[in-house]
Structures are given as C-alpha cells and as structure tokens.
Amino acid sequence: MGGITMDSQDRINEELTAEIHTMRDRIDEVVALNSRLHEEIEQLKQNNAILVEYQDRTGLALWAGQVFLWDWNVLTNTVYVSDRWANILGYDWDENTRPLQEWRDLFHHEDIDRLTDAAQSYIEGPNKCYEAECRIKNGQDEWVWVRLSGKMIFKDHNGRTLRSLGLGSPSLQNQALEDSEQRYRALFENNPVGLFKYDAHGNITDLNHYMLQVLGAPSKEELRHLNQLAQSEKEMALIKYELLETVREGKPGTGEIHFVSSWDREVWLQYKANPIYDQHGKVIEVIVACEEISERKQAEERIRYLSFNDPLTGLYNRAFFQEELKRLDTQRQLPMSIIMGDLNSLKLINDAFGHHKGDAVLKAAADVLRASCRHEDIIARLGGDEFVVLLPMTSADVAEEICNRIQNNCRKTEQSSEQVSLALGMATRTDITQDLEDIMREAEDRMYHNKLIESRNIRSSFIMSLERTLREKSHETEEHTARLQQMSSMIGKGMRMSEAELDALNLLAALHDIGKIAIPSTILDKADFLSMEEWDTMKKHPEIGYRIALSTPELVPIAEAILAHHESWNGNGYPLGLKEEKIPLLSRILSVCDAYDVMVNGRPYREPISKQEALNELQRCAGTQFDPHVVKVFVEKMA
C-alpha cells in the first residue's frame, strides 16, 4: 500500500465506480430490452392468434361462399388451387400445384380466347383486377360455369408479372342461363305441339320433332324454307302469304291452314304465330305453334255431313233441302222445276226380304237418281221411300227429259237383285209470285196420280218377281206349281167353290210358300234333317208370307190361307195351332194337294212312293193331319 498514493487510489476508486455505474446502466438496458422483447413476443403471439383466426375465418368464408383460391406462379408456370376447388368441381384430390396446361385442358375450348382476352385487357387496360367467366369440366364430365377474378401481386424489376393470385366461384348467372337454355330446348323438342321458327325471308331456322311428324318429314335438314312445306304451289303460296303477314304487320297472327305436305301427308293445322323483335322493334324471327286438327276437322265434316245428308243413301236430307229451297227462292233461279219420287213396293220388299234388302233398294234408287240428274241438281231423300229433285233454272221440258232418264235407268235394274221402281211427279215454277210449297204439292199430286195409274202393273210385276225369286230360292219347279194348281182346282170344283174362290186357290197354290224367300239358303238347301234351331227358323215362313201378302192388295185375299197352310186338322200344326173348321178351307185343300205331290214325286230327303200308297197315307191321316172331307173328295177324284 506504501507504493500507492492517495491520488492513485482515488483514481482507481473513481474508475471502479464508473464501471459499476456503466455496468448498472447496461444491466438496466438488458432488463429494458428483455422487457421489450417479452412484450414483442406477446404481441407476436397475439398477432399469430389473430392471423390463425383470420385464416380460419377466410377458410370458412371461402367454404361458405362456394369460393376457391388460385395462385399462379408465372416463373414455374404452375397453378396452386385450394381443396375447395376440388369440392366445387367434384374431383377427388386435395390442395395441389399442377402445370398450367393441365388446368387449361379442363376449360372449354370455346372459352380459351375469352380468358386470354380478359387477361390481356387487364394487363393493358385500366381494369384494377382480372375478371372472366368460362366453362370448366367437372368430375361428372359435365360443363359448369365459373367466375374467375384476380390480381398480379409480384413483379420483377422490369415490371414483368411473377405471380398472380385470385379467387374462383360458380357463375350462377351463366349457369342459370345455360340451364334455362337446356330446359327451353327440352321443352321445344319434346313439346306435344308442333313448333317452328322462320326469319323474315321465310327461312326455317328451327323446328321440333312433333312438327316433323305432322308433316311426315324425315329430318330437319329436309325442311329449310316455307316453300318446302306443301306440294301444291297454290297451297304453298297461301301458306307463305298467311305466315309472312306476321312479318309484314309485326303483329301476332292466328289461323287454320289445310294442305298436303311435301311428304304426301294431308294435314289441317291451327296455328298461332308470334313475332320476335330486335332492339329497334323490327321483326327478325317468328315462332309458330301448331296443333294438328285433322281429326277434329274430319269429325266436324262428319257432323256436317250427317246434319245435311241421309246416312243410308248419301243424298241430302230434308233439313238441307228445306234450307236450299229458301236459298233458291229468288227470281234469278226461274224457271225452277221440282221432281217428286216415291219408291214403289218398299214395304213389300222389307216384309219379303227384310229391311237390309229394302236398304239396298233405297241405295240403288239413289244411284239411279244420281246417274239421271245433272251435277248442279239437288237430290234429297225426304224420308222413308220419298225422294225429291230440285232443278234450279230448269224448264218443264228439260225436267221432263230428266224424268224420262230416271225411268229409263229404273228399267235397266229389272234384271238386277235390287230392282228399282219409282213413281214420279213434276211441276215447274215460272213466276216468283208462285208459292214453292204449292209447286211441291203439285209435283206430289202428280206423283200419286201416276203411282195410282201404274200401281196394278207395278204390283203384277212385283208378284211375278216374287214367284221367280221363290222358285230360284226354294228350288220349287213350275211343274210342281202347275200340279198343285190342277189338283186344288179339281177339289175346289168338286166342292162347288165359286170362280173367285177358285182364283184364290190357284194363286195360293203358286205363292203359299212365298215366305221362304226370307229363309236362309243354308236351311232351304240342307239335304239332312234340320236341327231344332233350324226348324224353328223354317217354321217362320208362313208368318213372313202372311206379312208379304198383306202388303200387296192382290194377295190380301189369300193372306190368311198363306198363314195357315201348315196347320193340322187336330190342332198340332203351326204357327197358330188352329184346328178343324177354324183353319181356312183354302189352306186345308192346299195341304192335301201338297202332301200328295211330295209323296209321289219325292224330295231330296224322301224317296217317292206310288200313287196308291200316297192315297192310302192321306186316308190314314184324315181326321188328324188333314180335313177328312177334303181327303174324301180328293181320293174320289183321283180314283
């Protein structure tokens, strides 16, 4: 210590004190620094928590908003996408970075130019961000619309983009438009109404499947213009005029068109044409909705036909005739002639042959009238057996010529199975003051007058026709009829009958089986025994013959005898079961004569026997089947 001076010691102490103070200051600095570092660490922890929370929120927002993140590294030409992209598109992969070309391959080729143009516009233009909409193929191999937006976030010192970042989301608007277009196409193509569109020049721009079916066209390529719709130029001109009127007028149009299509199909169409306008109000296209109404039109035509035509003959009916009579009640139609016609013996034909035969004769009469009259003449069936012909601007002489033609054509049917006989009457109106009803009555009166004059000849002709038909159908010979007439006349004279009774007996011998003309030939021609059902049918012929006889004045006297010619003396005959004297005498005589002739001449089902054997059989059945007195007279005369 001796070497250390007081001054040195003080200096050392001062230095030491200074170092201590310096160290304390440093320690304070370290403590302060540590405190600040701790505070910064805590702040970083808080910021990290906030960042994580923001990241979670961003992820949730992207998920909830159907949004995905994309990051394009321009230097490596790769694109990173978030897993939300895969979820939205339906792909089974996580977040991934892939070459740009792989993503390009997913975009619709028609949209590549749109994406490129949008990027170029962003780079060169004033747009603050890149925006574009495009179609991309999803995991189900379907095209979906997406909306892409983004920004360039890093550039090099030369200003070149190094990285671009953005978002993507489904484009609901475009997707809705595409879905709407698909629904429209489906509705257009599968609509149960015919649809087609054409432009202002008549070019057909679209049509649906139903329209092709209606026209009979094989494909849409076959139908490019309105000119191709119809075969006929006249029909085509009318169609074009009607449809293009919508273009000319600029207003919706409706109507009906009837034509034969270019593919040989006759169609009736009811259409409604609606114009489509551009932004200036000019018609650029027309869409037409068509409903095929062919069946409806045919039904309407059928109803109209039935309303004014007789369904049996096809001639006009009374209702149409009355309307035409009113329409033609003018001075210009004079002279006007009217021919009234009545079909002779229709009731007799119906009774003899059935209503089907009467209908056939009515049709034949209608054919005669059509063949005899002019095209402009109005022929109508008033009902039943009555016909009328209205002859506008026709004199009495010309009408008389038409009457003669009708009668000549009637005579041509005499040898046919539908023989036509018409009674005619004609009258002519020459002055407008004459009442048409009076003219009709005059024609009708003349018709009935002519019918009365001709009636005897008509009935005689018809009776001869009946006899001819009976012989043809029943195979009865004229010889059989002659023998019956001879034998019955012999009995009648032996019983002292009057001339009138003998005439009736002679007529009965010829026509007693007249009812057989309505019996089926299969029964009449059967060689074997008849079945019960067939026999029941056969036994109806006396009743049918009775009705025929009542319809003909010349046959009325023998009608009862025809009905009873199969009755038996003991009441076991048919159809009424009459017995003894209640059976008409003519029937009892004919029964004996007919039985004898059948026995000695035979039938397909029975061998003939000798005359004596036949007489013995008649005597055996006298009092049961035959009148004993008639048998006695017959046997005596034959002996």
Q: Enumerate domains of the chain plus CATH numbers.
A: 64-173 (3.30.450.20), 191-298 (3.30.450.20), 309-463 (3.30.70.270), 475-638 (1.10.3210.10)
H helices present in 331-435, as ranges: 346-353, 355-372, 396-411
Question: How high is the pLDDT of residue 93?
Answer: 66
Asked if residue 83 has pLDDT above 90, the reply is no
Return the SS3 of 78: strand
Average pLDDT over residues 250-265: 90
pTM for this predicted structure: 0.54
Cβ 253 vs Cβ 272: under 8 Å: yes
Question: For residue 95, what pLDDT band results from cuts at 50, 70 and 90?
Answer: low
Rounded Cα–Cα distance for residues 470 and 464 (Å): 10
Rounded Cα–Cα distance for residues 69 and 65 (Å): 12
Residue of higher predicted confidence among 585 and 550: 585
Asked if residue 252 has pLDDT above 70, the reply is yes
Q: How far is CA 350 from the centre of its chain?
A: 37
The rounded percent of the chain whose pLDDT value lies above 70 is 91
Quote the tokens at residue 9: 């010691």
Asked if residue 55 has pLDDT above 80, the reply is no
Question: How high is the pLDDT of residue 505?
Answer: 94
Rounded Cα–Cα distance for residues 395 and 429 (Å): 9
Asked if residue 123 has pLDDT above 80, the reply is no
Question: For residue 130, what pLDDT band results from cuts at 50, 70 and 90?
Answer: confident
- Residues paired with residue 603 on neighbouring β-strands, in sequence order: 606
Asked if residue 91 has pLDDT above 90, the reply is no
Amino acid letter, residue 331: Q
Question: How high is the pLDDT of residue 269?
Answer: 92
Question: For residue 1, what pLDDT band results from cuts at 50, 70 and 90?
Answer: very low
Question: How high is the pLDDT of residue 133?
Answer: 86
Average model confidence (pLDDT) across the chain = 86
Question: How high is the pLDDT of residue 634?
Answer: 95
Cβ 97 vs Cβ 163: under 8 Å: no
**18-48 burial by CB neighbour count: b if 16+ within 10 A, else e?**
eeeeeeeeeeeeeeeeeeeeeeeeeeeeeee
pLDDT in tens, 148-194: 888 877 676 776 777 888 888 877 665 566 667 778 778 888 888 99
Rounded Cα–Cα distance for residues 87 and 82 (Å): 9
At a CB cut-off of 8 Å and minimum separation 6, what does 79 contact?
70, 71, 72, 73, 97, 98, 99, 100, 103
Question: How high is the pLDDT of residue 207?
Answer: 92
Under DSSP, the state recorded for 231 is: S
Rounded Cα–Cα distance for residues 369 and 402 (Å): 9
Asked if residue 375 has pLDDT above 90, the reply is yes
Amino acid letter, residue 248: R
Question: What strands lie across the sheet with 283-292, from one edge to the other?
Answer: 204-207, 194-199, 283-292, 266-277, 253-260
Rounded Cα–Cα distance for residues 542 and 575 (Å): 7
Please give the helix or strand (H or E) that residue 387 lies within, else none: strand 386-391
Burial of 607 from C-beta contacts in 10 A (0-12 / 13-18 / 19+): exposed
Average pLDDT over residues 289-301: 88
pLDDT in tens, 583-639: 999 999 999 999 999 999 887 667 899 999 999 999 999 999 999 999 999 999 987
Asked if residue 474 has pLDDT above 80, the reply is no
Residue of higher predicted confidence among 418 and 337: 337
Q: How far is CA 112 from the centre of its chain?
A: 53
pLDDT in tens, 391-409: 999 999 999 999 999 999 9
Return the SS3 of 427: strand
Cβ 406 vs Cβ 369: under 8 Å: yes
Rounded Cα–Cα distance for residues 543 and 175 (Å): 87
pLDDT in tens, 202-228: 999 999 999 999 999 999 988 899 889
Question: For residue 491, what pLDDT band results from cuts at 50, 70 and 90?
Answer: very high
Lowest mean pLDDT among 22-26, 46-50, 281-285, 437-441: 46-50
Return the SS3 of 8: helix
Q: Beta strands of 402-441 (E only): which ranges?
A: 422-429
Mean pLDDT is highest, among 116-130, 188-202, 322-336, 351-365, for 322-336
